[in-house]
Structure 1
């Protein structure tokens, strides 16, 4: 494996000499009998495709591919299509320094490993083709010293070109593969062919397949199947659709084939998976829904579900029945639902102790612990400790990346969070709800006075003017009193003198997910935060 930063320093120490150059052109089938290489070689495929077997490992290569073959390697090859084949095969030797002396470096013939080895895809193909043509033409030079000098210049230029592409190639390859991953994430239910994905990435099918597996650990087809099975698990648990409907939605016209694939991937039949995973969990604190969804669990029923009573998390809670929060209607609903578990906060438990007789009840603190700790406690209840750990690691990585992006957009500008609620002005501090995400996770800069607020505080317009933040995120409900106050503010000189308002940096945001103190809502905030500060 090559460490990009070391390529040029390693090549710079070598003395490379070309010994022979072949230009293989075939319209008919071509093959190379198995042989043990007596010299180092670099092979450039200009047209057509061929299969190279190197020490028992077969690789299909096409136009733009460069192969570095090591001395002593067992190689066999054959053309792989009816298209005309054009290959340049350059044999070379090299010397590497073993120690320095007063007179210079002491070299040995053929060091242990040439810095470039294996297969690479080269984007600068016209330039590479020109170098190969010149190297081939140099073999006709009669004067030995002139020929060797020219070949040394050309091979060094070829190695420079290859190393330059390799140095930046990992990022380019990752970008190309991620482009297809993004496409698969949105279209996995369609009949996507490998050729279409490889064209989207800009590589040949064989090279794209190997590169995808190298970067993602599985093949493109396996990745698509993984996405389908992940969605299948969700639909089996949360939807009321039949198995036939689910299989067709995921791109399987044959229900029995879908069932076989599902069992192969999960170890369970769809029916048994539903029986095993569809726990009847009833949520009596709406915020906890976002924690369950983050863990891949959908509640059987819940208080405060949907856009009017809370976020639906991209439709994942659309089919979840809504239950009354307390009173006789709540108790009657719980008796009818016959849940396996009731999950509630301390306040609900205090006033509904008789519900403990209906089903096992887990009391999770809402005010007393941070949301990360709460997520882990809920994960413990539903057997998702591993999922919680992985989710939090991914969340923190996304937050760190988003934080760097936001810093590049707004620098050290101060940001304040204002909500108009119950006819009053309320600002949020740094430890809970939206403040914990923006100030702690995304590391946005809060005015000094806001840093002293843990959760929230009611303020006057005069105090808001003193804060004078560069940006203001504004939440307003549709209630008449709140809309009336907003109109009054916009008509006042004090409001229009606010720095954020003058600079048109007062950004209105919806109540959800911004006010919800749950894992999934926080992820949604991170995803949306950058878009807030990108100017149209």
Structure 2
């Protein structure tokens, strides 16, 4: 019979007392599925099937299937035992090195014997269940958590689309009613409430960082119309969307959790009430309160009682864990990290009610960049520039973001041949520098905290680079066109409106001698 495909289906017997369960043992090489789990199974499949469950399995002639029916009781008050009825199949991971089918066959054989044999069958069955539970990390729990997590991820990816409870249940592989109960038990909300929360979170960001209409925002995050959106928004926040926007724009205690956002705020004439403060980025803050050096301190952040927090979606692992608490402290405005710095500045301006100031600042900057480009052209025209970052034992090439956004972008300077399309930076071994032959070499900080130890390490690294025989062969070195921006750590390399404006001034100062020749 091998090679033939059979379909085994039907309803499992519910049992006279309504609590007869079944242990399914399926062994072979075929794929199978058991509703409502609906996931491919290979080799050994082991499940506890509740009373009345629908079972469908596809097996080939070389597979074996066994169903062991049993009662399941739970101790109650007064030493009584009551039936237990599961609502969902329990799936087990196969036990390594254990032939479950052989154990099941032995149990079946002993069940047909006399009383002592039937007792042994029960002992074997108990041992089988023990092996299954010990070999699985919470047999049903882990599978349920994975299923719920999959639907949460699905909501985050598809919140802007029409998403029904039935669709989510399908993703989880559960019935809609059971999925809803399990979801609320795990997360404290119904799936619809959770999805609405995701949509409102995205709507808040759009309200604070764009000039789109309420209708456009409502539709973009998955609400049917602006009226339903407005009702849900008021229910969740206690205020209308328009009142919410006015509140945030009138905020006085503005906190920045990223240095480049602090730079954008400074460009708009706003010194944040509190910010990260360290020697990496000497942003010349006068009165801003310190809420951490490299990562926000949650206690300090809460203590300053911010009205609004500016942050981005890119964090290190430690800050990522804290980020869930930011919105519990104050309204959080998330500015996309990988967007162009001009777009970032405009979004910060919308959230702070400084749109006019942002456009004025950008207009002034564009004019200044044109004037700087014209002023530098006698020195830079037709010449390539390589930007090298040097740190404590580390070295990198900067690309078209940060300091490169000004040199290669706004000033239109030429990158050396072979540099390629580097986004932010690319770490290298120092010897790679010699494979480029730029006309101008600009040395700047790379992860420079300004400490004496780091400054000493940078000097040692530069000494190593300059002592290499290949150094003197470089065009920029032979023509004395090597310049440095080390004195203020990362003030000029920060990807922000504030730093870019300062860099234009610094480059004019740096190359003034060349321009006077």
Q: TM-score range by the shorter chain?
A: 0.3 to 0.5
